[in-house]
Copies of this chain bind each other. A is one copy, B any other.
Amino acid sequence: MARKINDTIIYNNNPVITKWAASVGKKEGEGPLGSEFDTVYNDTTLGEDSWEKSESKLILNTVEEVLKKGKFVWKDIDCIFSGDLLSQCIGSSFAFRDLGVPVVGLYGACSTMALSLINASNYLEGCCADRVIAATCSHFCSSERQFRFPLEYGSQRTPSSQWTVTGSGAAILERDSDGVNVMASHIGKIRDMGITDANNMGAAMVPAAADTIAGMLNDLSLIPESFDAIVTGDLGFVGSDILIEFMKKEYNIDISRVHTDCGKLIFDREAQDVHAGGSGCGCSGSVLCSHFLNKLFSGEMRRIMFIATGALLSPTTVKQEESIPGIAHALILGRRN
């Protein structure tokens, strides 16, 4: 059973990420991490006639990929934890119809990969499940239409705006197996510092990210250099710089030597015209479930803190000129042996 130190959960029942898979679209495949993803879809419609269906197919295919890697079939899975950015989480719900697998729907905006992994770990910890899948997805085209404008409008993007990743990450978690261990987790608190610019979501998510990182470091008496990397997802270029400054100023913690961000890693800032970098559930989902889990499993990295950040706005709140609440959920991942 788990132990708690303040808001940090420490696992004793050994939840392990045993398999992982990541799929992305064409643009992400052309980025610096392109060769690390399991699947790159050059046709981002995935053969479907709506972007929403394309997104559902993306996550379903990714989950099927991870099942195949583990040589499992649906009935071997106790539960799927998933969520996405689309209103009423239809990306996930429509994907997982009639599979015969229980589904826990989550909403954490771009923090969903961490939220699904934490829930998966907590279910395993209490023996409420034995083998589960944590997954998420996002699609540039469905997100643009929902949150901004249909692509056909050809609207211009601001310098601080981020590019929603077409991507999906999925992981199988079991107990007492070989893989990457979930050592601890930290569920985030909702922070809102009054930022109202939906084209600067990185900045809106900084206070939540800082709160979660500082909370976890303090609860466990660790320093930033206790980790090979403190990986946020997805503050992008603008938000990452703000995070480092904000943490120095507000918490007297300097993460600059070990900090990196999935939204910075997935695109080439100069060559790919993505402005402030990548965003979307599928950004941290696909980067974790390829690049980082591969490095942790091979031993190239020993231990990371993974903090997925979410901006909890909606198209309605943007039109109503409300501020943007942020949240950030974190896990410590590494190999025990």
Contact = CB atoms under 8 A, between A and B. Distances in A.
A101 interface: yes
Nearest to A7: B102
B126 A90 contact: no
Interface string A299-315: 00000000000001111
Interface string A94-133: 1011111111111111000001000100111111111000
Contact of A108 (B3, B96, B105): B105
Given A96-B190, A101-B189, 15 more contacts: A1-B1, A2-B126, A13-B126, A87-B314, A88-B107, A93-B312, A94-B312, A94-B322, A97-B190, A98-B190, A99-B190, A104-B106, A105-B108, A106-B106, A122-B122
Given A105-B107, A107-B105, A90 B130 contact: no
Task: Please tell me the size bucket of the interface on A.
Answer: 35 or more
A52 interface: yes
A155 interface: no
Interface in A67-89: 78-79, 83, 85-89
A317 B50 CA distance: 10
15 contacts: A1-B126, A2-B126, A7-B102, A52-B316, A83-B105, A87-B88, A87-B314, A89-B107, A90-B313, A90-B316, A90-B317, A98-B190, A98-B191, A100-B189, A104-B187
A325 interface: yes
List 4 A-B pairs, minimum CB-CB distance, nearest first. A126-B126, A87-B87, A125-B126, A88-B314
Q: How many copies of this chain sit in the oligomeric assembly?
A: 2
B125 A128 contact: yes
> Which one of A9, A109, A146, A322 has the greatest number of beta carbons of chain B within 10 Å?
A9
A188 interface: yes
A192 interface: yes
A170 interface: no
> Which one of A102, A126, A127, A317 has the greatest number of beta carbons of chain B within 10 Å?
A126
Contacts of A90: 312-314, 316-317
Contacts of A50: 320
Contacts of A88: 85, 87, 107, 109, 312-315, 317
Contacts of A119: 104, 119
Interface string A24-63: 0000000000000000000000000010100000000000
A115 B79 CA distance: 13
Contacts of A3: 127
A106 B112 CA distance: 10
A325 B94 contact: yes
Given A78-B4, A93-B312, A312-B90, A128 B126 contact: yes
Contacts of A52: 316-317, 320
Nearest to A126: B126
A126 B129 contact: no
A9 B128 contact: yes
Nearest to A311: B88
A303 B190 CA distance: 36
A296 interface: no
Contacts of A107: 83, 88-89, 105-107
A247 interface: no
